[in-house]
Amino acid sequence: MSADPIHAGGIFSVSLNGDGETGFIDPFERHNAGVWNVSDSMLEAMIEEEGVRYDVYRDVAGFPTVGVGHLVLPADNLKVGDTITHQRAMQLLEDDLAKAERGVRDLVGDLKVNQHEFDALVDLVFNVGVGTVSEEESPRLNAAIKAGDYEAMAEELAYHTAQNQLAKGLVHRSERRTQIFLDGDYSDPRNG
């Protein structure tokens, strides 16, 4: 099952069986996570939260970061102070989102999710990494997924620390992520 959602007036056109034929799907209905890609609304929210930085800097945890929250890897051949183009920043974001989407699909397995639940989980994996949502690191989240308990899943979307220290930005982001998961409301709760 492949997916390439195209927003069309609140309904998404997706390839449901991978043969190129498309059907329409309501983003509020729960489906296998393989149907979904991150929505434009989530992408906008992530860019609001992360910002776009063209110079390599150290994030709140001290890790070299660039673009839209991209954790610099050795293969990136970048160091603190280096500058990248907008095009490279967007390519890094696209690659990071693809990894996060795969991470969510692996995380939820056969559990059906709707668009905003998928989006919130992508934001979580994008922000904390696949390893942090593993069974070992996040046993309550994984138990909630296995039980199909969406309320309990929402309670486990909060990650507030970086390097074992409370980070106010992560507190706000976690609140927003939970709001997206539960209500499909992508607005910044700090603005209202």
All domains of the chain in start order, with CATH? 6-191 (1.10.530.40)
| Burial class (CB within 10 angstroms; exposed 0-12, middle 13-18, buried 19+) of 160 | middle
For the chain, 192 residues long, give each residue's pLDDT as a single digit of tens: 333 333 333 444 454 545 555 667 889 899 999 999 999 999 999 999 999 999 999 988 899 999 999 999 999 999 999 999 999 999 999 999 999 999 999 999 999 999 999 999 999 999 999 999 999 999 999 999 999 999 999 999 987 666 666 667 677 889 999 999 999 999 998 886
**Phi then psi dihedrals of residue 99, to 5 deg:** -65, -45
Given this model, what pLDDT does residue 21 score? 54
DSSP lists the bridge partners of residue 164 as none
Given this model, what pLDDT does residue 163 score? 60
Give the count of beta carbons closer than 10 Å to the beta carbon of residue 66.
24
Given this model, what pLDDT does residue 173 score? 87
The reported pTM is 0.84
